[in-house]
Amino acid sequence: MMSLRHIALAVLMASSPAFAAQNLVVNGSLTGPITNNGVPTGWSIFEGTPDIMDAANNVGMTGQLRFGATPTVSTDGGTWVGLGAYGSYMERFGQTLTGLQVGQQYTVSWEAGNFGYTYGSISYLGSNAISVLLDGTAIGAGDQLALGSSWANQSLTFTATAGSQQLSFMLAAPAQKAYMSIDGIAVHATTAVPEPGTWVLMGLGLCGLMLVSRRRA
């Protein structure tokens, strides 16, 4: 049987800020079947034709090793999304974040790699960076990665201006013909602010602990 002390501790842990900070992104692991012109469940295409790929299937085409540089399995694992850019042709995908708190700062983090694409006379072998957009407006970008750059963790922060905002990704430099990889996308409150209900729970937890100590004494 759980003692009062155990219950109090459980409540305290469940309500602590560290436990309250959850990933607001749905399917941030970008898990889905290899698809040319498709994005995984939970995501939408906003421009162009992004692909679902992995180290053995480039541009979302099964068995196609049309890479400009040897790819490595992402830190996140499984499939990821490939994004191309070529002048006015851009590829952008994303999803609407919900449950944001206005005025709260959030950190967007992701893994980026540049393994390119080459097949016959078609080549996407340039350097580029992953740009992050909020409601269609760029809020920043990761570092430029040259062809052959393996997975790198990148992040930036934003302050929510509405409870629901559209997060999307595209390549930052349209003129630099490139095809980059993105995986492991997450959005967390930068400094977790417990909600009012959480403070009540934490208070109850502390009361429980105090009660236990008094009984012991």
Tell me how far apart the alpha carbons of residues 24 and 212 are, in angstroms, rounded to a whole number.
36
Residue 176 to residue 42: CA distance in whole angstroms: 29
The DSSP symbol for 67 reads -
CB of 145 to Ca ion, least distance (A): 18
CA distances from residue 182 to 59, 161, 162, 192, 193 in whole angstroms, order as listed: 13, 26, 26, 26, 29
Site string for Ca ion, 102-141 (x = CB under 5 A): ----------------------------------------
Strand partners, 92: 47
Candidates 9-17, 73-81, 119-127, 128-136: pick the segment binding Ca ion (CB under 5 A): 73-81
29 binds Ca ion (CB under 5 A): yes
Q: Which is nearer to Ca ion, 29 or 35 (CB)?
A: 29
**Of positions 183, 185, 189, 208, contacts Ca ion by CB under 5 A:** 183
- Helix or strand (DSSP H, E) at 79: none
With CB under 5 A as the rule, give the number of residues binding Ca ion.
Answer: 6
Positions touching Ca ion (CB under 5 A) are 29-30, 76, 78, 80, 183
